[in-house]
Structure 1
Amino acid sequence: MTRRLPLSLVLCTTLVLPALAGPAHAAPAFRVTDLPLGGDRSALSVLDINERGQIAGLTESPSAPGRYRVVRWDPTPSGYTVTPLSDYQEQYPVKINDRGDVMGRAGDDIVIWDRAGTRVATVAPVGTFSAFPPVFNNRRQVLYSHGSGDLSGLPTTAVLWSPEGTSELDRPDGTTSMFAIKLNERGVALGTILAGRTPPHRTGFRWNGTAMTRIPAPGGQAVAFMVDINDRNQAVGVGPTEGRVFVEQDGRARDIGDLGGGWSRTDFFLPAINARGQITGLSRTASGEIHPFLWTAGRMTDLGTLGGPTTDLSDTAITDLNDRGQVIGLSRTSAGERHPFLWTAGRMQDLHIAGSRNTEVVEINGLGQAVGSITTETGTRPVVWTTTTP
């Protein structure tokens, strides 16, 4: 059972919360740390955590609601320090790499700050980017899409930017549109080509800034969309019916199966594969429920639920996984509420903060640190969950 604590204590100190009751073996306890706002009034749940525990996010001006600045939180022995990087402005997604570089908006441009907080590069004006947010890696390479297709309105060009120069991939094979969404640490981009002239017309692609390789679904079929790629160049996509997940490597695509209900999928923008090749997503069970899964070397594991009904896609979701095979997401409880969860080593644990209006967990790193936010009557505050027992 979750220990209920006064909300004021949650907001101003570090807590240790046990997981909800479940199987007989001991559950990990979590330390929940409130991230400082540096005098700002609130924060968005737009957060990114790296493998060192550094976090990038947006905090709201105390005097101008709806205006946000880019900040970075750095871990210390006693908690976290916050470093403002930009002026207050309109919100825009932020990213942090494992070097501590932060990519975000500064005025009319997307820029990169180094770990010292110095602005070291300007990538492009904000208006250059499509609706798909840019991503970047530890080499300070940035992947984004721009342009507008003839009818779809989707982008037509993929761009790979680096401090050394820029490469563009412009509508190969006469495609109507294309979009690139993921970039690995080897500098390989992943995306989807729409309505190409060469069958199967709609395929995935890898692109390293020089050479482009198409990725079909199993059996040479068209893809619905590509989802994620790891540093082994294993690519995850969804088949033409949008109900089958596949993994492709070295030209061989494999359907990963389902939980007995004939249907599986992964989310378009969210992480789906880790460095070990484990894949996470959602699948329908034989009884008709939708459960999260973790696929490992040919075996799909049902991660279960927090006790509530999960017959609809709104009942459950996956938001991230790390290289240890830990998965975070959302599941409905027996009371009908959607709570964030952490699944690790066969156990799903409720991460909801008692007394909050909403608890959201968005990312988890390889240290098992999860970052998210809690919303109360005073606003939204960023927090970090850290496992304190194995």
Structure 2
Amino acid sequence: MRVPTLRFLGAFALAPLLGSCDAVRNPAQPAHPTLSQAATPTILDLGTLGGSRSSALAINERGQVVGTSTTGSGALHAFLWDGTMHDLGTLGGDYSEPRAIDPRGQVVGLSSTASGDRHAFLWDAGTMQDLGTLGGPSSDALALNPGGQAVGSSYTSSGDLHPFLWDGTAMRDLGTIGGSVNTTATAVNPAGRVTGMWFPPGPATYSRGFFWENGTMQDLGTLGGGSVVVVAINGRGQVTGQSLNGSGSFRAFLWDSGTMRDLGTLGGRESFGTAINDKGQVVGESRTADGGRHAFLWDGGTMLDLGTLGGNSRATAVNGQGEVVGFSTTGSFETHGFFWDGQTMHDLGTLGGSQSGAGDLNNAGQIVGSSTTPSGESHAVLWTVGRAP
């Protein structure tokens, strides 16, 4: 499971990078047989809620899509698309934004209230429910598991930021670690295991990671440096993200049963994990020996270079079959979404503009993201990848 985020167009600014810990494969030598053969992908403009722009964030196995769109008045609202784009409304204010969707079509996110505060919400079957707070003015739900458990963060009455788990009836304070007054839950797996980030007290500006299970919160540790960024957890309780190592470089990691493993690089100094599936396959972006930035898939100790569409690339999501989506700059310096089928990176194209990016996919080969139109507006899109029988 990953933390969906579609802030990817223009996300190629990474710090300089050093060597690799695990084996590296060239895209000309696939790590496994082709998982699917992609025909020309079709692209569907999902439209807007009356405004000029929209963006799709995530898709479930039923093909339901969530994202944001401007309305005719210019307000930003969450939407659910199931063949038709539905405005999910707000908690009384003028803003809402989804964070995740579960297999049943429940949605969690953030919305403004009539008083101007921002609260976590759960939307289900046409109704947006205010999840409340831990006593402070605001909260935010960031992830949702198939059982309807939501996690995120909320301010307490004392002004501290604490992680929460909402179990369908109440918001539970998960506590903190290391004396932190700034802790956020970012992901939850089907078993209710939670991961997230905490900031040490005092002047420190770096974050650390935590793993919570059955009332106990533990620090994830680091790869030798001070900072950890957690992005996703899978059904097995494995966590990925990036950590500073002892040399001051960020490295993608896999945390499993108390041990954090450096996933290495594609020959450069740094790598960044962005998503993980239940097989323990991790995707992300790595520096190469020549200074480029390439999407990768890490599987069982080997980091595979997925290549590019001509420039740099980053993987944003991986499905249960090991198929990968993301975005890449092209030889003409445009940014396009891509689909990697286990062997080949396919250009997903655009709605006629110069930019697109893919942020999520399901096991049926449906991919969501955004694309610019010929007029330069950004719209939510759904790509469908045909497969050979």
Distance change (3 Å), C-alpha of 1:339 and 1:255: same
Are 1:230 and 1:275, in contact at CA under 8 Å, matched by a contact in 2?
yes
* Residue of 73, 76, 79 corresponding to 1:71: 79
Offset of 1:304 from its aligned partner? 0.7
* Residue of 8, 25, 28 corresponding to 2:39: 28
Are 2:137 and 2:155, in contact at CA under 8 Å, matched by a contact in 1?
no
Aligned to 1:278: 281
Aligned to 1:113: 123
* Residue of 90, 93, 96 corresponding to 2:98: 93
Could you tell me the TM-score, scaled by structure 2's length? 0.77
Greater RCO, 1 or 2 (C-alpha within 8 Å, sep 6+)? 2
Identity %: 33
> Aligned partners of 1:326 and 1:209: how far apart in 2?
33
Offset of 1:96 from its aligned partner? 1.6
- Amino acid in structure 1 at the alignment position of 2:260: A
> Aligned partners of 1:43 and 1:102: how far apart in 2?
21
Offset of 1:378 from its aligned partner? 7.5
1:334 partnered with 2:342: no
* Residue of 210, 213, 218 corresponding to 1:208: 213
1:322 partnered with 2:319: yes
Are 1:217 and 1:246, in contact at CA under 8 Å, matched by a contact in 2?
no
> Aligned partners of 1:54 and 1:159: how far apart in 2?
26
Matches within 5 A, 1:1-390: 27-35=38-46, 37=48, 40-62=50-72, 64=73, 66-74=74-82, 80-86=83-89, 89-105=94-110, 108=113, 109-114=119-124, 116-119=125-128, 121-124=129-132, 127-129=137-139, 134-147=142-155, 156-175=161-180, 177-195=182-200, 203-208=208-213, 210-218=215-223, 222-240=226-244, 241-266=248-273, 271-308=274-311, 310=312, 316-353=313-350, 355-376=352-373, 377=375, 379-390=377-388
Offset of 1:374 from its aligned partner? 2.6
Query: Size of the alignment, in residue pairs?
Result: 338
Secondary structure of 1:170 counterpart? coil
Distance change (3 Å), C-alpha of 1:194 and 1:61: closer
Could you tell me the TM-score, scaled by structure 1's length? 0.76
Q: 1 or 2, which has the higher strand percentage?
A: 2
Distance change (3 Å), C-alpha of 1:57 and 1:336: closer
Q: Deviation per CA, 1:131-182: give whole Å up to 9, x if none.
A: xx6222222222112349x9xx9x6411111223332133323235333211
Aligned to 1:18: none
> Aligned partners of 2:351 and 2:166: how far apart in 1?
44
Distance change (3 Å), C-alpha of 1:73 and 1:27: closer
Larger Rg: 1
Offset of 1:369 from its aligned partner? 0.6
Offset of 1:263 from its aligned partner? 2.4
Are 2:284 and 2:316, in contact at CA under 8 Å, matched by a contact in 1?
no
Aligned to 1:16: none
Offset of 1:233 from its aligned partner? 0.4
- Amino acid in structure 1 at the alignment position of 2:386: T
Secondary structure of 2:250 counterpart? coil
- For structure 1, the 5+ residue unaligned runs are 1-21, 75-79, 311-315
> Aligned partners of 1:106 and 1:226: how far apart in 2?
24
Q: 1 or 2, which has the higher helix percentage?
A: 1
Secondary structure of 1:52 counterpart? coil
- For structure 2, the 5+ residue unaligned runs are 1-27, 114-118
Secondary structure of 2:314 counterpart? strand
> Aligned partners of 2:112 and 2:154: how far apart in 1?
19
Superposed CA RMSD: 3.1
